[in-house]
Amino acid sequence: MKPFLSLFLFLTFLFQQVSFSQEKPLRIMFIGAHPDDCDIKGGGTAALFAAMGHQVKFLSITNGDAGHMEMGGGMLAKRRYAETQEVAKRLGITYDVLDNHDGELLPNLEIRLDVIRKIREWDADVVISHRSNDYHPDHRYTGILVQDAAFMVGVPNIAADTPPLRKNPVFLYYQDNFQKPNPFHPHIAIDITSVIDKKIDALDAHVSQFYEWLPWIANDPDVIPAGAAERKAWLKSKRTSAPNPSVMKALEEWYGKEKAAQVKFAEAFEICEYGTQPNKAEIIRLFPMLR
């Protein structure tokens, strides 16, 4: 065989092996009740997915038009939408906002169909949202809406204007601290230490929330710093904490005790009993930062 032909065949074989080994980018959807919930609950994990070349969408079920002490309605909704688009730029993701009123959300059929369509259009592999026991009714009802969509995303005659999924995503819940009627269980814990500043940068884009509304509603006596760097440092002090014991246990299961001991910041998720039930190998495929 001539040398140039041997080289050609070798390169062809090598190209085929590389092509076969490359996995299709994952499509991850985080769903929140308000235009900052996804960022708070999953911003670090989203940053890791995006950095690895996977596709991430944040979806807010309400437009956030009640979340401020001085402004509201359409003006606030417009401002908060602009903040989400800045987050999208900073994290390298897509951010959608549905036009439902903040504080008035109900788990009705119309919104359920919208959620089904959004999950289908994104062709989601993973969907993460609130649990249905939470202090905020919008959070609770967002959790119910997503749960109610979990099976229906594959039913052709439901929301028939959007093609059904041929696979059911894995549905998960964000971490919370509510104990009744059942506490959060961290099936998956992600080390976000390397991207914590990226997450804080995303939260920082929600100026109307983290520097105005949330300190006001919490009666926080702190004076908000004026400088950009000082603000981010203050926000980081407010919005980060070490993993709690249950999350640390999950980190040890996924990373091993030695590496888990080095984790300063983490995000954790519970697998919903609806949707695809992944085994350990599938979880690692869907969360490749665990490899």
pLDDT at 46: 98
pLDDT at 23: 79
Number of Cβ within 10 Å of residue 122's Cβ equals: 20
Question: Which one-letter DSSP state was computed for residue 61?
Answer: S
Angle at the Cα of 272 (from 271 to 274), degrees rounded to 5?
135
Write down the pTM of the prediction.
0.92
In DSSP terms, 30 is beta-bridged to: 58, 128
Cα separations in angstroms, 254 against 176, 209, 261? 20, 34, 12
CB 143 within 8 A of CB 156: no
User: pLDDT tens digit string along 112-147?
Assistant: 999 999 999 999 999 999 999 999 999 999 999 999
**Average pLDDT score over residue span 194-206:** 98
* 3-class secondary structure, 270: strand
Query: Can you name the CATH fold of 25-190+268-286?
Result: Rossmann fold (3.40.50)
Nearest residue to 102 (alpha-carbon basis) of 130, 140, 61: 61
Is pLDDT of 1 > 90?
A: no
Residues 210-235: b if buried by 16+ CB within 10 A, e if exposed: bbbbbbeeeeeeeeeeeeeeebbebb
Is pLDDT of 3 > 90?
A: no
Higher pLDDT, 1 or 212: 212
**Average pLDDT score over residue span 8-28:** 58
DSSP state string for 152-219: HTT-TTSSTTSPPPSSPPEEEEE-----SS-----SEEEE-GGGHHHHHHHHHT-HHIIIIIHHHHTT
In this structure, what token pair is assigned to residue 206? Answer: 């929600």
> How confident is residue 10, by pLDDT bands cut at 50, 70 and 90?
very low
Q: What is the CA radius of gyration of the chain?
A: 21
User: pLDDT tens digit string along 210-246?
Assistant: 999 999 999 999 999 999 999 999 999 999 999 999 9
The phi and psi torsions of 6 (rounded to 5 degrees) equal -60, -45
Measured CA to CA, the distance from residue 146 to residue 232 in angstroms comes to 32
Nearest residue to 66 (alpha-carbon basis) of 123, 105, 27, 116: 105
Residue type, 153: V
Is pLDDT of 9 > 50?
A: no
